[in-house]
Structures are given as structure tokens and as C-alpha cells.
Amino acid sequence: MTNISTRRSAMTLFSSPTCTKSHCARFVLLEKGIVADVEYYDPTDPPEDLIELNPNGISPTLIERDLVLYDSRIIMEYLDERFPHPPLHPMDPVSRATARMLIKRIDQDWYQLLEEILSSGEKKSARTKKLLRESIISVTPVFGARPFFMSEEFSMVDCVVAPLLWRLPSVGIETSSLNDTINNYALKIFNRPAFRHSLSDAEKEMNEILK
């Protein structure tokens, strides 16, 4: 069995190739230019060396020497603090706390609906798809008010929003059913080199906008 300390780099991110929140963590890694191994695996059959350190085999799991983290939002926060440049959170405490609350709200309002869609059948998910689509459209002014999501600069919030928007066509919410303001925002983020490189092969098939 390979010991984690013998890996090619001091940091390894174990990631499902399709998990939305794992995608967020990969996006942060690449935006910050962090040198790390990204190891894709099937969450239903996690590798032995991951199970040894995280018995639940949860995706994503970040391992750096003796540190093991397995909550995507905690991983993202850790990476931003561990590698402070460029910062993805605002520097002042009030703005930083506001951004964290916004991410929590996105998780509760949008990610929860996405998880319901992914875990239910086509007929049962129709109402949930409608709710998610309408919820995203309802904040159209936010997408258009500033260059990035409620920010003048690219931030951690964009790293949370973009992987969710990327998956909409794959769950039956076509981008044509949104509007130009949201689509223009999405395309701007999708075209960032870090986002493009964060996509697994399976994720590339979820949206044809970059093909």
C-alpha cells in the first residue's frame, strides 16, 4: 500500500469526477495555482489508502502530510488561508463574513435543490428543476450588477456558483431557459483557464458551451 507521504506532491485531493462540491475545490486549487495531485476515484469504491485516512471515503478529501480534510467548503477555506495569494475572500472581516454567509445561502437554496434533482427520478424532479431555475433567474440583477457575483473581483463565491451553473444542462435545465445576463456571467467564468482545467472528462460532457 502506498503511504500518503510518498506521493508525488505534499498535497493530494481525492475527488469524484462528477461531484459538484469536489469540482468547487478543484477550481480553487487551480485558481490559486497550488501544486497538488488530484486523484479521481469512484466514491462507491474508494481506494484503500483513502479509506485508511478517511474511513467514509467522502469526496472531496484533501490530504496534506498529517492533515485530512473532507468537507469541500472547509477545504476551500483552508486552501485560501494556506496559500493567501491571490486571495479569494475579501481581506476585511465584514466583507469576508458576508461572502461566507452568501456561500451558505447558495448551498441551502441552490445546492440542496440540485442534490434533490440528482437523487430523484425524472418525474419527481420536474418540480425541483422548476424551483431551481426560477430561484436562479430571480437573482438576475445580482449577476449583472458587478463584474463578478456580488463582487468587483473574482472570489470564492464564483468558485461556488460556477460548477452548479455548469451542470444545469446535464440535469435538464437548458441555458436557453435562463437569460443573457446569467449566461454572459457563466460564460465569463467558464472561459477562465482555471475553470477549464478543473473539469474532469465526465464533467466536460455535462455542458457543450465550451466545445
Q: Tell me, yes or no, whether 209 lies in a domain.
A: no
Q: Which of 82, 107, 124 is at the close of a domain?
A: 82
CATH of the domain at 192: 1.20.1050.10
Which positions of the chain have pLDDT values less than 50? 1-2, 4-5, 7-8
**Which residues contact residue 70 at a Cβ distance below 8 angstroms, ignoring those fewer than 6 apart?**
54, 56, 58, 60, 61, 62
pLDDT in tens, 114-150: 999 998 876 678 999 999 999 999 999 999 999 999 9
Same domain assignment for residues 65 and 110: no
Same domain assignment for residues 126 and 43: no
Same domain assignment for residues 33 and 70: yes
CATH of the domain at 22: 3.40.30.10
**Which residues contact residue 210 at a Cβ distance below 8 angstroms, ignoring those fewer than 6 apart?**
190, 191, 196, 204
Q: Is 19 a catalytic residue?
A: yes
- pTM (2 decimals)? 0.91
Active-site residue, from 4, 19, 69, 206: 19
Q: Tell me, yes or no, whether 88 lies in a domain.
A: no
